[in-house]
Chains A and B, each alone.
Chain A
Amino acid sequence: MAQFLAIIVSAVFINNFVVVQFLGICPFLGVSKDFKSALGMGIAVTFVMTITCLITYPIYTYILVPLKIEFMEIIVFIFIIASIVQMIEMVLKKFSPALYNAMGIYLPLITTNCAVLGVAELVIDQTQMASILGVATMNLGYAVLYGLFAGLGFTLAIVIMSGLREKVARLPINKHLKGFPIAMIVACFIAMAFYVF
């Protein structure tokens, strides 16, 4: 249980995907103007990241490594991610139109989100994972768990960001600072808040 908690704290806070590892910055800045779309994006990313880990980790460990074609990982991973996103979109459209309406517009954007490819690359890196999770050997369970909680860390950051940006949008701001610069200064304060951990 203690180890489980350690993984959660490490994945969500200490190694937060957005403000510590700089992954998924594009949606973090682009889709954080209001709370609702930020939450939708966060949930969609978390969902895709978890499923990506569930599929890419076994494919890398049990297919690419035995065949000695590890160098193909980038091409294989990006195709898996694109297919997963496409499939989730189709499944949601068919079985849950409500969820599709909430999540649908963010799904195509996720294929080129570095957070998803980043998590797929991270979970196969033994040394990185050992320092982040503190486990000696990786297995599928840890990989999926990490995918899920890293996604939740992303959701947390983007939701905090959207809340702050809604407030900042009402302030009078110099025209050169409007838009991205002020968003990044807000992100700067969020990053400082995460140093507590």
Chain B
Amino acid sequence: MKNDYKKIAFDGAIKNNPTLKLVLGTCPTLALTTAAMNGIYMGLAVTFVLICSNVLVSLLRKAIPKEVRIPAFVLIIATFVTIVRLILDYFLPDLNDIMGLYLPLIVVNCIILARAESFASKNGILPSALDGLANGVGFMIALTLMGAFREVLGRGEIFGFKVWNFTLDFFGTSAGAFFTYALFIALFSLIYGAIADRKKDKAFSPVLKEPNGEAE
């Protein structure tokens, strides 16, 4: 049981990282990675909506008829996004301005609908909540890393602190956003592929010692 939870957390945050592996929720990723801090804000908002919607979908999974499940999921997600928006409007109006249009657009963020459809509608409450948390954290890490990369190169700052005077305007622009995203997906695939290969090699090494090695 404990291993199951470990696997859910690992799969959601790293192995099937929603941003870098599955390439879901691309719009906010490209638009908001101009600064590292934006990644944290957006990541927190998405994680909150993901956990809440996953829990509610999981709770209602037997009550929602199969034919109308997608509209029902969208309604659940839209409700939580409205809640986030109202909370931010009241407590942190500045944040609302930074995220702007992309805050209401969390509703159509494919990550949330994908998790509701492929995980929460088939699993219990606790695993669903964990899955929401893991995917949200995976999303947040990816956005923050990309934001930090673009901020350092584009503005010479990281989390708003000055690093150096060297700046490349390219990384602040939309073309830079596409380029950075491409770079990060490729790097993720490269690094993850290398690690997986090494694990495989280790697993195979006793087999390779056999004289004929046919077991391979």
> Chain B interface secondary structure, helix, strand, loop or mixed?
helix
Task: Tell me which residues from 6 to 59 in chain A have a Cβ below 8 Å from any Cβ of chain B.
Answer: 19-26, 29
A4 at interface (Cβ–Cβ under 8 A)? Answer: no
Instruction: Point out the residue from B23, B71, B107, B186 that lies within 8 Å of A117, measured CB to CB.
Output: B107
Chain B, residues 185-204, CB within 8 Å of chain A (1/0): the string is: 11001100100000000000
- Size class of the contact patch on chain A: 35 or more
A118 at the interface (CB under 8 A from B): yes
Q: Interface readout for B168-195 with A: 1 if CB under 8 Å, 0 if not?
A: 0000011111110111011001100100
B186 with A181: CB separation less than 8 A: yes
Residues of A within 8 A of B183 (CB): 181
Interface with B: A98-106, A146-154, A186-194, which one? A186-194
Contact assessment for B104 and A121 in the assembled complex, using a CB-CB cutoff below 8 Å: yes
User: Which residues of B, 68-108, contact A by the 8 Å Cβ criterion?
Assistant: 71, 74-75, 78-79, 81-82, 85-86, 101, 104-105, 107-108
A189 to B23, CA, bound (A): 20
How many chain-B residues does the 8 Å CB contact rule pick out? 39
Specify which of B82, B110, B186 is in contact with A71 (CB 8 Å cutoff).
B82
Residues of B within 8 A of A122 (CB): 101
Given A22-B177, A24-B27, are A72 and B82 neighbors across the interface (CB < 8 Å)?
yes
Having A21-B101, A188-B178, one finds 6 other A-B pairs with CB under 8 Å, namely A72-B82, A75-B78, A78-B108, A182-B182, A183-B182, A188-B175
The 5 residue pairs across chains A and B that have the minimum distance between CB atoms = A184-B182, A188-B178, A191-B175, A22-B31, A25-B26
